[in-house]
Structure 1
Amino acid sequence: MGVFAALGTALCWAIAARLFRGTGNAFSPLTMNFWKGLISIAILAVVLVFVQPTGLTTHTILWLLLSGLIGIGIGDTCFFKALHSIGDSQAVLVAETLAPLFTALFAMAFIGEWITWQQWVGVAVVLLSVDMVIKARKRSTTHVFATSGYLYGVGAALCQAVGAVVSRDILSSGEVDAASAAFLRLIGGMFFVVPFIAFTKTKYMPTITNGKRIWPAFIMATLLGTTAAIYLQMFAFAFAKAAVVQTLIATSALMSLAVAWALGEKATKATVVWSAIALIGVAILVSFGAPTTH
């Protein structure tokens, strides 16, 4: 269940990424992080009225808030900064390649969770395929990128890894429900975003020009890419190892190909071949991704 929940997270992100494009540059990284967090918190608050939260103690609440502050508040802001600085291909290449590796290392070091050699093979196949697909889709024109953009990408990967390991440590016990975990992590993210917006004097509202309607696309993207995705991600951490979950989530770059194809865009031979190879890696992770506890 954890493996398929992780793949569901990746699909939600792939669709949401396409929808977020419709908002153009109306949202700054901080503003986007603020609004997607606020909307998702409101939705999950309604859900929790009807779903009784379970397993919440002061200890788990504090750790989930910290996980959200680092993984969502700081991590997502770094990722959006990387997007603006070095473009989507390079930002995804850096963050989505390094996050699973950092997660595997942190999980081994801090919660004693090791993955088998077969899972390492699956991770390697998936990440290599994702990298090759992203490189194949990269624009042919030459860009001069700021080094800071790559540093933001690395920072995003580190923060994602920390958030993933903390979430896995809390959720692997099976006592905390996914909706409560998602809700608390999003609130934790706001503990960073809101003060930082005030400190940097960033405008809370997006910049809308020519009367463009951006809110419908943004809300739909938030429902998929934040609300549904973080719920599925928390569910995945309850049933699968942190490194496996992060690796499968990285396949969102491949799933975006399917989204593009469904919208009538053509795929190159190279992207099709590497996507097929990635499926082999996913199959390995599915085969050897039995749930474990520590």
Structure 2
Amino acid sequence: MGVFAALGTALCWAIAARLFRGTGNAFSPLTMNFWKGLISIAILAVVIALVQPNAYETNAVLWLLLSGFIGIGIGDTCFFKALKSIGDSQAVLVAETLAPLFTALFAMAFIGEWITWQQWVGIAVVLLSVDMVIKSRRRNTTHVFATSGYMYGVGAALCQAVGAVVSRDILGSGDIDAASAAFLRLVGGMIFVVPLIVVTRSKWLPVIESNQRVWPAFILATLLGTTAAIYLQMFAFAYAKAAVVQTLIATSALMSLGVAWVMGEKATKATLIWSIVALVGVGILVSFGTPL
């Protein structure tokens, strides 16, 4: 179940990324983070109120808030900084390649979660395929080398890994349900984002031109890319190893090819070949090792 939830997360992100394009430049990164978090928190609060889960342990609540503060709050901010500095292709390349590797290392070091050598091979195949697809789709895009941009990308990967390992540790123990974990992580992220908006004096509302209708696309993208995606991600951490989950989520770059195809765009031969290679890697990843 964890594997399917992780792949579902990747699919949600791929579709949401396309929908977010429809909002243009109306939202700044911080404004987008704020409204995505606020909408998702409100929806998950209603879900939790209806489901009425068991009481949470204080320890689990604090760790998940910290996970969201680091993984969503700081991590997303670093990623957006990398996007601005080195462009989307390089930012995604750095973050999506390093996050699963950092996650695997942190999981082994801090929660004693090891993966088999076959799974390491699967991770390598998947990440190589993702990298090659990103490079082939952005081969004509150039950006000035900026050390700070790459450092932000590494920082984003580190934060994602920390958030993933903490979430896996809490959810793997069964102390809390996925919806509550998603809610707490989003709240943790907002604890970082809101003060940052105040300090930087960023705008709370998007800048919308008179003929623009960005809210419908934004809300739909948020429902998929934030609300549903983070719930599925938390569900995945409850049933699968952290490194496996993070690697499968990285396939969102490949799933975006399918979304583009549905939208009428053609894929190159290279991207199709590497997508097939990635499927082989996913097969290796989920076929070996003790499922948890």
TM-score, normalized by length of structure 1? Answer: 0.96
Cα deviation for residue 262 of structure 1 reads 0.7
Give the equivalent residue in structure 2 for 1:263: 263
Task: Return the letter of the residue paired with 1:94.
Answer: V
> In the aligned structure 1, how far is the partner of 2:290 from the partner of 2:245?
12
Mapped to 1, the partners of 2:220 and 2:227 lie a distance apart of 10
Higher alpha-carbon deviation: 21-30 or 230-239: 21-30
Aligned position for 1:156 = 156
Paired position in structure 1 for 2:140: 140
Task: Tell me which residue corresponds to 1:25.
Answer: 25
Structure 2 CA distance for partners of 1:180 and 1:234, relative to 1, 3 Å:
same
User: Structure 1 residue 55: deviation in Å?
Assistant: 5.8
* Shift in CA distance, 118/54, structure 1 to aligned 2, threshold 3 Å: farther
* Cα distance between partner residues in 2 of 1:20 and 1:139: 23
Aligned equivalents of 1:80, 1:251: Cα separation in 2: 20
Structure 1 residue 206: Cα displacement: 1.0
For 2:8, the equivalent position in structure 1 comes to 8
What pairs up with 1:40-59 in 2 under 5 angstroms? 40-54=40-54, 56-59=56-59
Q: How far did 1:285 drift? A: 1.6
Higher mean Cα deviation, 206-215 or 194-203? 206-215
Q: Give the structure 2 partner of residue 247 of structure 1.
A: 247
RMSD: 1.2
Structure 2: gaps spanning 5 or more residues: none
Alpha-carbon contact 1:14-1:253 (below 8 Å) kept:
yes
CA contact (8 A) 2:86 2:149 kept: yes
Encode CA deviations 1:82-106: one digit per residue, 9 max, x unaligned: 2233222111111000000000111
Partner SS, residue 176 of structure 1: coil
- State the match for 2:176 in structure 1: 176
Alignment of 1:224-243 (within 5 A): 224-243=224-243
User: Offset of 1:26 from its aligned partner?
Assistant: 1.4
Task: State the Cα distance separating 1:79 from its structure 2 match.
Answer: 1.3
Cα deviation 1:217-276 (Å, max 9, x = unaligned) = 111110000000000000000000000000000000000000001111000000000000
- The one-letter code matched in structure 2 to 1:229 is A
- Matching residue's letter, 1:207: V
Equivalent-residue separation in structure 2 for 1:219 and 1:98 (angstroms): 30
Partner of 2:111: 111
Of 117-126 and 202-211, deviating more is: 202-211
| Equivalences, count | 292
Alpha-carbon separation, structure 2, partners of 1:167 and 1:55? 18
CA contact (8 A) 2:115 2:289 kept: no
Q: State the distance in 2 between where 1:22 and 1:289 align.
A: 41
Shift of 1:53: 2.0
Q: Describe the SS at the equivalent of 1:26.
A: coil
**Alpha-carbon distance in 2 for matches of 1:214, 1:150:** 31
Aligned AA (1:37): G
Whole-Å Cα distance in 1 between the matches of residues 194 and 108 of structure 2?
33
| Counterpart residue type for residue 17 of structure 1 | A
On the 8 A contact 1:54/1:175 being kept in 2, the answer is no
Partner residue, 2:88 = 88
2:284 aligns to what?
284
Give % identity: 84
Structure-2 residue corresponding to 1:193: 193
Matches of 2:210 and 2:91 in 1, distance apart? Answer: 29
The answer on whether the counterparts of 1:86 and 1:149 sit within 8 Å (CA) in structure 2 is yes
The correspondence of residues 119-138 of structure 1 with structure 2, limited to 5 A, is: 119-138=119-138
Unaligned 5+ segments in structure 1 are none
Letter matched to residue 92 of structure 2: V
How far apart are the structure 1 equivalents of 2:251 and 2:154? 18
Partner of 1:16, secondary structure, is: helix
What is the DSSP-based 3-state SS (H/G/I as helix, E as strand, rest coil) of the residue aligned with 2:89? helix
What's the CA shift for 1:132? 0.5
SS for the counterpart of 1:25 is coil
